[in-house]
Chains A and B, each alone.
Chain A
Amino acid sequence: MTAKTAERPAPTRPQRRRISGGRKDTIASVFIHLELLVVALIVIFPLLWVVGASLSPGDGLGAVSPFPADATFDHYIDLFTETNYGRWYLNSLYVATLNMIGSVALAALCGYVFSRVRFKGRKAGMLSILILQMFPAFVAAIAVYMLFLNFGLLDSLTGLALVSIAAALPYNIWLMKGYTDNLPASLDEAAAIDGASRLTIFRKIILPLMRPMLTFVAITQFTLPWMDFILPRLLLQSPDKQTVALGLFQMISDEYSNAYTTFAAGAVFLAVPITILYIILQRYLVTGAAAGAEKG
């Protein structure tokens, strides 16, 4: 009904609106920019505040200001001389690198096989991976902790990386499989006619085409160990085996330590590289996450 009655005056309408809407448009524009400004301030302020805190002189939380008058880089120096931050950083880097390489390699291979090779048990395999993925990684982590505890396997960074790879593998396989499904099958058929083996097809044809998804998995799996807390908290114990996330949490949750500004420096030092990485690769990350959701 409404569409029909509106049909007649339609041709003149857009023009009229443009002429009469001049002032209304300006007001709307002001309001929109006002809203954007307010949101931008709310978004930036905490980040500015922690950067300010890391540059503030003094130690405590109470003395922190977002724009310190006498800014100092002392806390960044303290971070590497007074605390174990350098060690934690290297530990995290080690776990992150291992996690990234292992996840990408295994997920790409398994995803390709599940997508392109028909074999007995394929459906059952996909289904069990699907069910496995529904167990929160966290649930398995607690069981891994109990197992490792009783077998004396705790406190190994490589072990932590292996558990992380395994925990994320079901989801990553689904991602890779879903992505490979959408690649044209004619490509590998042509290569197969030319006599290429399956492994060659995978390496030379499918792998290069998988690049967007490989990037997505690589970035998420590289950044995960920097932020992950539960697994390292459960599996690592000795002071020189801590990761950055554990160390930072310890710094801030310790009631009696008065090192807030050093914590802030550590937080900034952790956040800056990851933030830059995310902003540069945002397109891959957003589309990758969307693709993951569609495939369950």
Chain B
Amino acid sequence: MRIIIYFLISLWLIFLGVILGDYGPWYFAWLVGTVMIVLISAAGGALMDTQLEEEQQHK
């Protein structure tokens, strides 16, 4: 049941994305770009901890 709900939500978001991308391409770009920037920044933080752990293991 849960997967069907997620599937429907995904479809709805894709539909909204298409509409927004058509009428407001820059708004859409902002939305996608912001999510990407936040995730890259978060991944950079997580990566640092992995790097530090590896460094300690080497030592």
Whether chains A and B associate is no
A→B interface (CB under 8 Å): none
B→A interface (CB under 8 Å): none
